[in-house]
Amino acid sequence: MRQEVTDVNKTPLHAWHVEQQARMVDFAGWDMPIQYTSIGEEHQAVRQRAGLFDIAHMGRLFFSGPDAARLLDSLLTNDVSKLKDGQIRYALVCNKHGGVLDDVLVYRFADEYLLVVNASNRQKIVEWIDGHRSGFEADVTDATTERFMMALQGPASIDVLSPHVDLDLAGMKYYTAVQTPVAGAEAIVSRTGYTGEDGFEVIVPNAAAVWVWGELIASGKEVNLKPCGLGCRDTLRLEAAMPLYGHELDETIDPLTAGLGFAVKLDAGEFIGRDALLGLREQPTGKRRVGLELDGRRIAREGATLHIGETEIGHVTSGTFSPTLEKAIAMAYVSADHAAEGTGVEIDIRGKRVAAKIVPLPFYRR
Query: Could you tell me if 88 and 165 lie in one domain?
Result: no
Residue 248's pLDDT is what?
98
**Which residues have C-beta within 8 Å of that of residue 15, sequence separation ≥ 6?**
none
Domain boundary among 173, 206, 239: 239
**Exposure string (b/e) for 152-182, b if CB count within 10 Å is 16 or more?**
bbbbbbbbbbeebbeeebeebeeebbbeebb
d(CA 335, CA 341): 13
CA dihedral 362, 117, 173, 211 (to 10 degrees): 110
CB 176 within 8 Å of CB 86: yes
CB 161 within 8 Å of CB 70: no
Structural domain boundaries, residue 88: 60-142
Query: Could you tell me if 42 and 68 lie in one domain?
Result: no
Binding residues: 201
Residue 299's pLDDT is what?
98
DSSP code, position 37: S
Residue 5's pLDDT is what?
40
Element (H, E) at 18: helix 14-19
> What pairing do the DSSP bridges indicate for beta strands 226-228 and 344-349?
unpaired
Query: Could you tell me if 45 and 89 lie in one domain?
Result: no
Which CATH number belongs to the domain containing residue 312 in this structure? 2.40.30.110
Residue 1's pLDDT is what?
43
Q: Find the angle CA(150)-CA(155)-CA(299) to the nearest 5 degrees.
A: 80
Query: Could you tell me if 41 and 172 lie in one domain?
Result: yes
The amino acid at residue 169 is L
Q: Is residue 260 part of a domain?
A: no
Query: Could you tell me if 215 and 353 lie in one domain?
Result: no
**Number of helices and strands in the chain (H, E):** 8, 19
Residue 108's pLDDT is what?
98
Task: Give the three-class secondary structure for 87.
Answer: strand
CB 315 within 8 Å of CB 305: yes
Query: Could you tell me if 331 and 186 lie in one domain?
Result: no
Q: Where are the beta strands (DSSP E) in 87-191?
A: 88-94, 100-108, 113-117, 139-142, 147-153, 177-179, 188-190
DSSP code, position 16: H
Which CATH number belongs to the domain containing residue 86 in this structure? 3.30.70.1400
Which CATH number belongs to the domain containing residue 150 in this structure? 3.30.1360.120
Q: Is residue 364 part of a domain?
A: no
Element (H, E) at 308: strand 305-308
Closest CA to 235 of 305, 153, 149, 306: 153
Domain boundary among 183, 218, 239: 239
Query: Could you tell me if 192 and 302 lie in one domain?
Result: no
d(CA 14, CA 344): 46
CB 78 within 8 Å of CB 91: yes
Tally the domains of the chain. 3
CB 285 within 8 Å of CB 254: yes
Q: Is residue 6 part of a domain?
A: no
User: Could you list the pLDDT tens digit for every one of the 366 residues in the chain?
Assistant: 434 445 799 999 999 999 999 999 999 999 999 999 999 999 999 999 999 999 999 999 999 999 999 999 999 999 999 999 999 999 999 999 999 999 999 999 999 999 999 999 999 999 999 999 999 999 999 999 999 999 999 999 999 999 999 999 999 999 999 999 999 999 999 999 999 999 999 999 999 999 999 999 999 999 999 999 999 999 999 999 999 999 999 999 999 999 999 999 999 999 999 999 999 999 999 999 999 999 999 999 999 999 999 999 999 999 999 999 999 999 999 999 999 999 999 999 999 999 999 999 999 999
d(CA 329, CA 297): 9
Binding residues for substrate: 201
Domain boundary among 116, 142, 168: 142
Q: Is residue 168 part of a domain?
A: yes
Query: Could you tell me if 170 and 51 lie in one domain?
Result: yes
pTM for the model stands at 0.96
Query: Could you tell me if 182 and 47 lie in one domain?
Result: yes
d(CA 244, CA 216): 27
Residue 4's pLDDT is what?
41
Query: Could you tell me if 228 and 175 lie in one domain?
Result: yes
Average pLDDT, the chain: 97
Residue ranges of alpha helices (H) inside 132-239 are: 157-161, 206-219, 230-239
Query: Could you tell me if 26 and 95 lie in one domain?
Result: no
Displacement of CA 144 from its chain's centroid (Å):
16
Query: Could you tell me if 149 and 203 lie in one domain?
Result: yes
d(CA 200, CA 159): 12
Helix axes 39-48, 230-239, angle to 10 degrees: 60
